[in-house]
Amino acid sequence: MSEIELANVQERFADIVWANEPVASGDLVKVCAEELNWKKPTTYTVLRKLCEKGLLQNEDGMVTSLISKEEFYSAKSEQIVEDSYEGSLPAFIAAFTSRRKLSKKEVDEIQKMIDDFRKKR
């Protein structure tokens, strides 16, 4: 997936599309009016920009994503690790856990992910 950078408001808009897709563009205008307090032109401007970036498509008034929410946030996470921690996942985890204590459940989930990864190798 090519890198797609979104401003916070664009990301919120994409989250709305992912939560409602497929969604008619007219219905999307209504949802954005309720959730973001946007007028119709704002919704269509942001929609056009995200279509130009290759994240969404608007075909015959039906809006869908070209990249899933999971794919987008996975790539975004990878980019954060690459840009901020020189690609080192252990460095990212060390930084993250230095400021936030993990619960036993979170540690167990992470350990299960590691165990599952080792089994697949």
Quick one: average pLDDT of 15-38?
Answer: 97
For 42-61, how does the pLDDT look when each residue is reduced to its tens digit (9 = 90+)? 999 999 999 999 999 999 99
71 with 1: CB under 8 angstroms?
yes
Confidence of residue 5 (pLDDT cuts 50, 70, 90): confident
- Written as one letter, the residue type at 61 is G
- Written as one letter, the residue type at 85 is Y
| Nearest residue to 42 (alpha-carbon basis) of 21, 68, 16, 65 | 16
Average pLDDT, the chain: 93
Q: Which residues contact 10 (CB under 8 A, 6 or more apart)?
A: 46, 49, 50
- Two tokens at 34? 């309720």
25 with 58: CB under 8 angstroms?
yes
Give me the domains of the chain, ranges plus CATH numbers.
8-69 (1.10.10.10), 88-121 (no CATH)
